[in-house]
Amino acid sequence: MRRTARLSGIMAAVLALFAAAVLTTSTAAAESNGGVRVMPLGDSITDGLTLPGGYRIDLWQKLVAGGYTVDFVGSLFNGPAALGDHDHEGHSGWRIDQIDANIVAWLQRFTPRTILLHIGTNDMFQNPTGASSRLGTLIDRITTTAPNAEVFVATIIPLSGADATVRSFNAAIPGIVQSRADAGRHVHLVDMFNALTTGDLADGVHPNAGGYSKMATVWYNALRSVPGSLEGGTSSPTPTPTPSGPGGCVATYRTIGTWGGGFQAEVTVRNNGASQLQHWTVRMTLAGTQRITNLWNGVSSGTNGSVSVGNAPYDGTIDAGGTTTFGFVANGDGATPPSGISCSGA
């Protein structure tokens, strides 16, 4: 009974905030400064019900401070003066299938270079079954309609009263993203779930100001990690690959995003040899108190200090000149990269 009452309260908050959004979010003439077109895409978390403008406020400020010229695009418009471009595609109360039903028209109208996708929260309440499959379908439609766009797909943030459902949905997203990336699509994983806690929520669903600021930081770091997603600004240093190891295997490490007490990283494994690799292993030593809490597309023998990551059963084979990637989320300060990174393959 207590759990049911709690969920009912959250749903009431969602419905009340949806009604408020109808009054505060509007369609207006697009703002444009001629910069790189970026589409914030999703539901009320993108819209910013508890803080009109949401993560877009701090993200805009970070982009300006970084010297980037960006044009937020979308059919909706809201936010304060501190948000220099109010356009977005964050539809309050919408599920994945509703975004999917409209995405082609939006992409054809606004032709974004970069897309920031955070969607699935309403599915957790309304129809969680099959949500991950619907997300895959949406991503496929985006990449088919806009094959040159850089698509950043976020795990959804924590949700009070639905932790297990959210975790189950989020667990499927790395594989969904990786399979599209392996097929040559410009799709990138962004771990938003581990950047926030339920303490960062204003109403159990939507972030408070601090939570939105954390989201902005994760988006900003993710954007800067992908060459071409932002043009005309200060870019991140190019990751330095390790020397070729046995079998011509090379590992390149990069930090995807950081937040207070944690970070997300990605390691690209490249076969620089002349023949196909059947399996690979990357070894590295994590700095200080860094500890891996979640790892995908690989099998790890440890979580801190000296760590060895071998291929998963499905990604051990790498053709000559080909690549694969694994990623992880870790606690600790992400400013210091691991030392002694090496790669071996056969």
Examine residue 14 and state whether it is found in any structural domain, yes or no: no
Q: 79 and 204 in one domain?
A: yes
Alpha helix segments (H runs only) across 48-129:
55-65, 96-110, 121-126
The whole-number average pLDDT for the span 199-203 is 95
Q: 151 and 50 in one domain?
A: yes
Best CA proximity match to 77, nearest among 41, 119, 27: 27
Question: Three-state SS for 292?
Answer: strand
User: Does residue 340 have a pLDDT over 70?
Assistant: yes
Q: 137 and 212 in one domain?
A: yes
How far apart are the C-alpha atoms of 261 and 275, rounded to whole Å? 41
Position 244 scores a pLDDT of 53
Examine residue 8 and state whether it is found in any structural domain, yes or no: no
For residue 171, what is the enclosing H or E element?
Answer: helix 163-182
User: Does residue 3 have a pLDDT over 90?
Assistant: no
Q: 175 and 70 in one domain?
A: yes
Total number of residues shown for the chain: 346
Q: 194 and 264 in one domain?
A: no
Residue with tokens 């930090």: 255
Position 175 scores a pLDDT of 95
Q: 251 and 118 in one domain?
A: no
Best CA proximity match to 250, nearest among 324, 317, 344, 328: 344
Best CA proximity match to 41, nearest among 85, 106, 101: 106
User: Does residue 240 have a pLDDT over 50?
Assistant: no
Q: 264 and 207 in one domain?
A: no
Examine residue 273 and state whether it is found in any structural domain, yes or no: yes
State pLDDT tens for residues 99-138.
999 999 999 999 999 999 999 999 999 999 999 999 999 9
Please work out, in degrees rounded to the nearest 5, the angle formed at the alpha carbon of residue 45 by the alpha carbons of 155 and 160.
70
Q: How many Cα atoms are found within 13 Å in the side-chain-facing hemisphere of 37?
A: 17
Examine residue 205 and state whether it is found in any structural domain, yes or no: yes
Position 246 scores a pLDDT of 61
Identify the sign of the CA torsion 8, 195, 152, 88. positive
State pLDDT tens for residues 7-24.
444 444 444 444 433 334
How far apart are the C-alpha atoms of 311 and 306, rounded to whole Å? 17
Domain that holds residue 191: 32-224
Examine residue 121 and state whether it is found in any structural domain, yes or no: yes
Q: 210 and 75 in one domain?
A: yes
Q: 183 and 76 in one domain?
A: yes
Higher-confidence residue: 8 or 249? 249
User: How many domains does the structure of the chain reveal?
Assistant: 2
Question: What is the pLDDT of the chain when averaged over all its residues?
Answer: 85
- Which CATH number fits the domain that encloses residue 335? 2.60.40.290
How far apart are the C-alpha atoms of 39 and 255, rounded to whole Å? 23
State pLDDT tens for residues 154-191.
999 999 989 999 999 999 999 999 999 999 999 999 99
**Low-confidence winner among 91-105, 167-181, 225-239, 258-272 (lowest mean pLDDT):** 225-239
The answer to whether 94 and 39 have CB atoms below 8 angstroms apart is no
Q: 255 and 137 in one domain?
A: no
- Which CATH number fits the domain that encloses residue 119? 3.40.50.1110
Residue type, 322: G
**Crossing angle (nearest 10°) for helices 131-145 and 96-110:** 10
Residue with tokens 């590992």: 251
Instruction: Tell me the pLDDT band of 81, cut-offs 50, 70 and 90.
Output: confident
Examine residue 6 and state whether it is found in any structural domain, yes or no: no
Q: 149 and 55 in one domain?
A: yes
Q: 184 and 106 in one domain?
A: yes
Examine residue 206 and state whether it is found in any structural domain, yes or no: yes
Examine residue 231 and state whether it is found in any structural domain, yes or no: no
